[in-house]
Structure 1
């Protein structure tokens, strides 16, 4: 993790699970970012209590309201971050917010599919667009050529559940709309990597593993991976990425995930 040194990072869905774990790890770094922007739907609500406690102890942590399925909310969050950065760029955007519903194929509906796609796929698309100017600014202000997460990066939290080859943990749940949204997110990540490479922005899709979170635990099954182990691994992976890795889908150990 020593190789990952950034001035600013934004994490969506940061009030619990992997998002909260990422925020905690960034704050504990030997050289923590000057700005850690943590977004969630209701920053003052009970579900954001742990995040509020962290913010009271860390002046570099700023909680920002954000509903990733609402373009107006995304625009307002980007404007707030730009205002706080005061002319500096944003080094890393982590599209972590996501939803899943354990619904089988025969029970899927247009409403559910649309809701999950809007959050898991369209949200990262719109966030990438909204924060592109700040990411470009960070890339332009970083010395050296090539791509890295210390320069400017979009990190899309994906899942091997969206891998057409793997169809991860099908036996534990079909989760069809979730799988489709993550397969689409992987394609979005590839498109972002091609479109934003010339701007100096690295794009990567990460599979965090099957993690012990509210979303990961369902039907009485306990996932094998702790949040701490997943986040520690992912940050180590992010610190090692270079130009050759942009557009790829990797897991928390840095292994390539099949499409």
Structure 2
């Protein structure tokens, strides 16, 4: 993680699983960010207890109420983060919040497709729009430097399940709405990389691996990758991302995932 020097980072879906793991690792960095923002639906609820415990020990951790399927919640979160940052910008936005339903082609529904797509694809779109002024401000603070996560970046947590070229795991779980939402998220990442490059903002999609989280284990199989290994790998990848990687779809080990 030697190459990752960020003043501020926001992680959505930060109260458990990969999101919580990322927050913990940012706080444990030799030179941790000045501000670590943890977005979650219910900051005072039981499911955010670990975040609350961390916040009591780390004054640079700010828990932000955030429901990524609600535009008003996103707008309020952007205002809250901007207020905390004062005149400085946001270096790194990690769109990690996501949902999945164990559905197949036969029982997929309009309601499921809409809910999953709204959270997994539209949410990151709206987050990028709402936090663009803060990301641009961070990029302007490093005017001469090349694209990097230390300057300004949007990282979208995708999945190999969204790869049209790879049938990975279809025999174990079809999760059609989830796969479609992640394929769309990959295209959103490409669009963001093209639209935000002129502002000095790097955009990339990451596959964290099949990770031992509530979501990863929901089909009754034990995933091969621990949260610890996934997060360590992804942070190493983030520290190495540059101009050539904007718009890319990579996994937690830095390998290119087929679109």
Question: TM-score, normalised on structure 1?
Answer: 0.99
Runs of 4+ in 1 over 6 A off after TM superposition: none
Distance in 2 between the 1:168 and 1:22 partners?
25
CA contact (8 A) 2:145 2:151 kept: no
Distance in 2 between the 1:244 and 1:43 partners?
37
Equivalent runs, 1:139-158 vs 2, <5 Å: 139-158=139-158
- Alignment partner, residue 60 of structure 2: 60
Equivalent runs, 1:128-207 vs 2, <5 Å: 128-207=128-207
Q: Report deviation, 1:143.
A: 4.9
CA contact (8 A) 1:210 1:223 kept: yes
Instruction: Pick which of 164-173 and 36-45 moved more.
Output: 164-173
- Alignment partner, residue 230 of structure 1: 230
Q: Report deviation, 1:146.
A: 1.6
Three-state SS of the structure 2 residue aligned to 1:38 is strand
Distance in 2 between the 1:240 and 1:193 partners?
17
Question: TM-score, normalised on structure 2?
Answer: 0.99
- Alignment partner, residue 213 of structure 1: 213
Distance in 1 between the 2:153 and 2:88 partners?
15
Three-state SS of the structure 1 residue aligned to 2:82 is helix
Distance in 1 between the 2:78 and 2:143 partners?
24
State the Cα deviation string for residues 185-233 of structure 1 (Å, max 9, x = none).
0000000000000000000000000000000002320000000000000
Q: Report deviation, 1:142.
A: 1.5
- Alignment partner, residue 51 of structure 2: 51
User: Pairwise CA RMSD of aligned residues?
Assistant: 0.6
